[in-house]
Amino acid sequence: MNYENWISYRYLIASKGRFLKFLNVVSIAGVAIGVASLIVVLGIMTGFGNNLRDKILGVNPHIAITKETGITHYQDVVTEISAIEGVKGAAPFIQGSLFLEYDDKAQALVVNGVDSDSNVSAEKFKRYLKKGQFADLRGNHVIIGNELARYYGYEVGDEVTLLSPGSGITGKGWRFNLKIVGVFDTGMVDFDKTMIVVDLKKAQEIFDIPEDVVSGLSVDLNRPYQAKEVKQKIYKKIGFSYLIRTWIELNHNLFDALFLEKWGLFIILTLMVLIASFNIISTLIVTVSTKIHDIGILQSIGVPKKSIRQIFTKQGIWIGLVGTFWGVVSGLGLSYILSHYIKVPAEIYSIDRVPVDLQMMDMIIIVVSALVISYLATIYPAAKAARLEPVEALRYE
């Protein structure tokens, strides 16, 4: 340890001068609180974002292929897409709107017609199915969301009446009585309250669509984050007459909002560290004022101004390092407590613990930001100390 580091460290832990020691502690605590807040908040935001992303990937296709007039001879297109590298499987779907009739009232619903014989459809819905069996989705059967079942008091075995004016049939032909054979719970309230699932052939009957036509194709990938690359491969395979969108494009507004919210909070909480840096400035100014005699002696024995500046710069960096260290320790500890011991309403978030996901890159950005701010806070006090002249410093000694 050179003399600059040794002197700056001694000034930091000096037992003389209780007020100066108090200022050092306050400065360290300010940095630590700011760093800990950043770690906890960004961890929670990332955790909730990843949780939501997993839900979206669970209920939405990784790639959706549609056509304005519907996809005809869809079996041939499914075969072509399934052969593309990176594609796990493809399945047809029909999606449309209709109404649920209940006690002379009507609620708008979205119908998702899926091929109950397809492994892609089965895997996607089985993981969320809380009651019933997906294999029972045949004929006049329907699977509804947990929120819809809870709101109307439906149970497996009950019948629901659906109204579909879009079928082009008048009178009683508008009505379809279906038996509930399952209840799913994705954890997304809007989805669970407005989405119902029927067999593909039943959906074709409801919306009066020919047997060889579907609304679109749902494509599942081995690696969802390669959706952009696979999308280009699909275009090359089947042509550009189709509208192909990835799961990111389908939900880009949501992901953009999450991104802005996360980094908006980062900027706001970084201001806490910035405010703590003013404590570092005031601490160093007081230190310089109380150590004028020491500065004069050092300069009189030949210590250059650059070394004087580095002594107080390093003291500020010591404060930043210690504060950042305890901030990281506190942030990790609080994150562990939140993720293991703090409960959240499962009926709202579909999880019973706070989802904290600490990313290494986020941690590095937080630590570097805290240290840079701490360093910048040392520039003025250190320069002031270096400008002192030995004669002025020792005038009254």
Question: Which residues in 3-158 belong to E strands, given as ranges?
Answer: 63-72, 87-102, 105-114, 129-132, 141-145
Higher model confidence: residue 300 or residue 253?
253
* Residue 73 Ramachandran class (φ > 0 left, ψ -120 to 50 alpha, else beta): left
CA-to-CA distance for 9 and 270, rounded, in angstroms? 26
Mean pLDDT across the stretch 332-353?
Answer: 78
The region of weakest confidence among 3-7, 89-93, 239-243 is 3-7
Residue with token string 């990281």? 328
- 0.75 surpassed by pTM: no
pLDDT higher at 326 or 304: 326
pLDDT of residue 125 exceeding 80, the answer is no
pLDDT at res. 396: 47
pLDDT digits (tens, 9 = 90+) for 74-87: 888 888 898 888 88
User: What would the pLDDT profile of 1-54 be if each residue is shown by its tens digit?
Assistant: 576 677 776 766 665 567 777 888 888 888 899 899 989 988 888 888 888 787
Mean local confidence (pLDDT), 361-380: 89
**What's the rounded Cα separation, in Å, for the pair 43 and 192?**
27
- Residue 93's closest CA among 219, 242, 208, 256? 219
Using the predicted structure, report yes or no on whether residue 248 has a pLDDT greater than 90. Answer: no
Give the chain's mean pLDDT. 82
If you average pLDDT over residues 113-128, what whole number do you get?
A: 77
Bridge pairing between strands 105-114 and 175-184: unpaired
Strands of the chain, DSSP E:
63-72, 87-102, 105-114, 129-132, 141-145, 159-163, 175-184, 195-199, 213-221, 243-246
